[in-house]
Amino acid sequence: MTLREIIVATDSKQTTTLKHRAILDLREFAIIFAYVYITLGAIMLMKAAVLHAHGIDYVHLGSAAVKAAVLAKFIMLGHALKIGDGDRSGPLIWPTLYGAFTFMVLLVVMSIIEEAVVGLIHHRSIVESLAQLAGPRLEETVASIVITLLVLIPYFAFRVLGEVLGEGRLARMFFVALD
C-alpha cells in the first residue's frame, strides 16, 4: 500500500467516523430539543392561560423553541464534559438525582451567563441584566429552577436506566414492538 492509499484510506475512515458522529450528535440534539421544547411549551401555554385570564395576551412559543435549542446545547455540552457522571453503583435514584441536580446547576449558571451576554448585546450592564432575574421576577426565577429540576429527573432516570440496560436497549423497549 502506498503512502497516498494510506492517507486516502485514513481520510475516508475519519470522514465516515466524523460523519457518523455528527449524525449521532444531531440525533441526540433533536431528542433533547424535543423534550425540552415540549416541557417549555407546556409551561409557556400555562403562563399564557394565566395571563389571558387577567386580560393579557401572551404566547411566545418561538422563544420557547430558541430557549429549548440553547438548553439542549448546554445539556450536550455538560454530557461532553462528563458533568454529572458519578458513581453508578447502588440504587439508580442516586445517580439520577445527582445528574439532574448537577445539570440544573449547570443550566442555571449557563442561563445566567446567557442573560448577561444578551444584556451586553442590548447595551445593558451585567448588573441590570441579572437584576431582572433576581429582582421583581425572583419568584418566577425560583419556580423556573424547580421546574428545570423536575424536568431533568425523568430525563436522567431514562438515561441512567438506559446505561444500565445497555446501549439502545431501553429505547428499543419503549419504541419497538415486542414479539
Q: What is the 3-state secondary structure (H, E, C) of the chain?
A: CCHHHHHHHHHHHHHHHHHHHHHHHHHHHHHHHHHHHHHHHHHHHHHHHHHHHCCCCCCCHHHHHHHHHHHHHHHHHHHHCCCCCCCCCCCCHHHHHHHHHHHHHHHHHHHHHHHHHHHHHCCCCHHHHHHHHHCCCHHHHHHHHHHHHHHHHHHHHHHHHHHHHCCCHHHHHHHCCCC
**Band (14; pLDDT cuts 50, 70, 90):** low
Regarding whether 91 and 49 lie in a shared domain, the answer is no
In this prediction, residue 35 carries a pLDDT of 94
Regarding whether 51 and 3 lie in a shared domain, the answer is yes
Please tell me which residue, 131 or 94, carries the higher pLDDT value.
94
Regarding whether 159 and 98 lie in a shared domain, the answer is yes
In this prediction, residue 7 carries a pLDDT of 45
Domain that holds residue 110: 82-179
In this prediction, residue 135 carries a pLDDT of 62
pLDDT reading at 86 higher than 90: no
Q: Specify the range with the lowest mean pLDDT, choosing from 19-28, 52-61, 107-116.
A: 52-61
Regarding whether 20 and 103 lie in a shared domain, the answer is no
Regarding whether 91 and 175 lie in a shared domain, the answer is yes
Regarding whether 54 and 136 lie in a shared domain, the answer is no
- What's the structural domain count of the chain? 2
Regarding whether 103 and 55 lie in a shared domain, the answer is no
**Mean pLDDT value across the chain:** 83
Whether 74 is covered by a domain: the verdict is no
Regarding whether 157 and 102 lie in a shared domain, the answer is yes
Regarding whether 51 and 97 lie in a shared domain, the answer is no
Regarding whether 174 and 120 lie in a shared domain, the answer is yes
4-18, 66-80, 164-178, range with greatest mean pLDDT: 66-80
